[in-house]
Chain A
Amino acid sequence: MLDMVMSVDDDSMVQMISEIIMSDEGFCDSIVKLEDGRLALEYFEEQSKLPLEKQKIPELVFLDINMPVFNGWDFLNQYDKDFKNFHNRTKIIVLTSGVDPETEIKAVEHPLIFKYITKPLEHKHIAELKEDPLFNSIANS
């Protein structure tokens, strides 16, 4: 079980569904729900100011791409630059509607993105993650 998962999505229904599914699967202890990329960055900013032992860094981030004001790509650009020390502690999974095929291509090629999942998040996705040795190797480190 993971300690913490962050869910970044402007759609509160998505947040609710993800929460239910993760809770059904007993996937994590706590979920941080944030509604855009800016707030997610601010979260990391806050944590980076704390002493290491007090930091609460999510092992996994579910990131929506299509968000108003500060979208998923904006977040990734900034996160890449400013929070390099978190990169090996956190996996990022893009969870998006999948209408635009370009997004998938871009996401699959992006070095910071661990996985691309088309909405909706389902039980099987979480089950797969739990079975994925590559994911676990990081989640447990």
Chain B
Amino acid sequence: MKSVNKIFHDTFLRIKARFQLVKEIQDEYSENVDEIREKNYSDDRVKLIVQNISDMVTLVNKQGIIVYNNNAVTRILGYEPEELNGKSMLELVHPDDQERVGNRFTEVLQKEGIGELIEFRFLSKFGNYLLIESVGNIQLNNPAFHAVILISRDITEKRKIEDSIKASEERFRSLIHHISDIITIVSVKGEIIYQSASARQLMGYEENELRKRNFAEIVHPEDFPALMQSFQKLIEKGGVSELAEFRLLDKNGNYFYIEAQATNQLNNPYIKGIVVNSRDISIRKKAEEERKILIQELTKNNSDLKQFSYIVSHNLRAPLTNLTSMIKLLDFSTVSTDRSLKLLNGFKSTTLHLNDTLNDLIEILVIKDNTNIHTENIYFEKALNKIIKSIKILFAETNTVISSDFSSAQFVKFNEPYLESIFQNLITNSIRYRSSDRNPEILIHTEIQGDYTILTYTDNGIGFDINQVKDKIFGLHQKFHHHPESRGIGLYLIHAQITSLGGTISVDSEIDKGTTFKVSFKN
């Protein structure tokens, strides 16, 4: 906009200057006509000036025939000054412009003095048309001329530049017009100077309805203080503001969320304001809000469930504890029939199995709930020996052999009962799922890899098809064997214990070859 004004202004100044020139020439000729006639040198001087000024000066008689051209015609159109004398001016005008120029000429013949600026295309000596801007001074009745004085200049280049400026301006305007972001320019006082068309679409206001209003009027009062603070900071410090989220009032009186970033362009002479780039984020905000509610609901559900599982496990625990006590107190030697003894033995093993399952479940609940687990440096050797000792009868019965190598990483910062639980579960699994063709062999070794201590545990048991169970193996109640003692909890339990302390466990297995577990402890 600025540049277009400037062009108009420049043009105006030029035309004004040219009128001045025409007037001077005319004055020189008319006022001092007698003197000029008497003093030839004076005539020569004027002629010299006219011949050598950069604008084209052309005299055309009332028939439209060119009678004089100054030297500038050579530079601009390529003709020798005398070459055009006697030619019809109109014939050299572009056919499309002839009618307009002809009409104007006929029109001005009735008048006296300076006419209006006209543009037309004029044929150059080289056969192309140049865009000429021309102003006429009608001096047909002046005995010194009996002609129309035309002062012209080539504006082809200038027009090209103007057009390209206009085009680029149009491009930017339409760009701003069509983007979905709102561009707002506000003054240092917060007054809205300009707002892009997208604002109208989004907020429902009429064009320019918000102009001259202060942005304070449309910002939500709760968001205003923080916004004002960053606005002041931006004015003082310049540059670009932080991305801010706030609510704006739309035409219907509803607030909606936008996200905005502002740039200080107060020192830019073409803007002189704060440019605010903003976009509607109400959809995102709504989604965030919904997510927040969802999280609240989930948190509540989760804590309800936790409560529920505590109650359930407690209510199961109490009668089960009684059952196990009773079985321990029961003197089997006093049972007189084989049938009753068999039943009571069944009752005993079932109860003990149920008790173990429940203990595992309660253990898991405690792990899942406890975010603050005591850790210290635990020696692998010590934890392993403790477990081997506790199940040494099982080892002897099954001829199980364990070889371990903890020389590369002797200890790890972990929870002692957890590490024992890991060994206990892995070893009892290996023995439970041993191959009937060979004695169970277990290899354990540790090493340090970057930030992790890796424990690799391998057995030579019956293994399983890893492709079938990969994602499920550490899940709850995933049993992969029809083994009567399998409770489907052991691996879930150690997975929970390891991950609760930032570690990971992975498994690989091959049917009838064995299974390998890799536990990574985070250091």
Q: Does A101 contact B (CB under 8 A)?
A: yes
* Cα(A75)–Cα(B73), bound, Å: 119
* Chain B residue contacts of A17, Cβ below 8 A: 322, 325-326, 329
* Cα(A13)–Cα(B327), bound, Å: 13
* Cα(A59)–Cα(B355), bound, Å: 33
* Chain B residue contacts of A139, Cβ below 8 A: none
Q: Does A108 contact B (CB under 8 A)?
A: no
Interface residues of chain A: helix, strand, loop or mixed (majority): loop
| Contact with B321, one of A21, A101, A120 (Cβ below 8 angstroms) | A120
A92-141 contacts to B, CB under 8 A, are: 97-101, 119-122
Contact A99 B310 (CB under 8 A): yes
Contact A97 B317 (CB under 8 A): yes
* Chain A residue contacts of B314, Cβ below 8 A: 66, 97, 99-100
Shortest distance in angstroms between A112's beta carbon and chain B's nearest beta carbon?
23
A37-75 contacts to B, CB under 8 A, are: 66
| Contact with A11, one of B318, B326, B329, B362 (Cβ below 8 angstroms) | B318
Q: Does A4 contact B (CB under 8 A)?
A: no
Shortest distance in angstroms between B320's beta carbon and chain A's nearest beta carbon?
9
* Cα(A20)–Cα(B322), bound, Å: 12
Mask for B306-336, Cβ within 8 A of A = 1, else 0? 0000100110011101101110110000000
| Contact with A120, one of B313, B325, B362, B370 (Cβ below 8 angstroms) | B325
Contact B322 A11 (CB under 8 A): yes
Number of B residues with CB within 8 Å of any CB on chain A: 16
Asked if A20 meets B329 with Cβ closer than 8 Å, knowing A11-B322, A99-B313, A99-B314, the reply is yes
* Chain A residue contacts of B313, Cβ below 8 A: 99
Mask for A1-44, Cβ within 8 A of B = 1, else 0? 00000000001011001001100000000000000000000000
* Chain B residue contacts of A119, Cβ below 8 A: 317-318, 321, 325
| Contact with A122, one of B310, B318, B325 (Cβ below 8 angstroms) | B325
> Which residues of B approach A to under 8 Å, CB–CB?
310, 313-314, 317-319, 321-322, 324-326, 328-329, 362, 366, 370
Given contacts A66-B318, A97-B318, A120-B325, 5 further A-B contacts (CB under 8 A): A11-B319, A13-B322, A17-B325, A66-B314, A97-B317
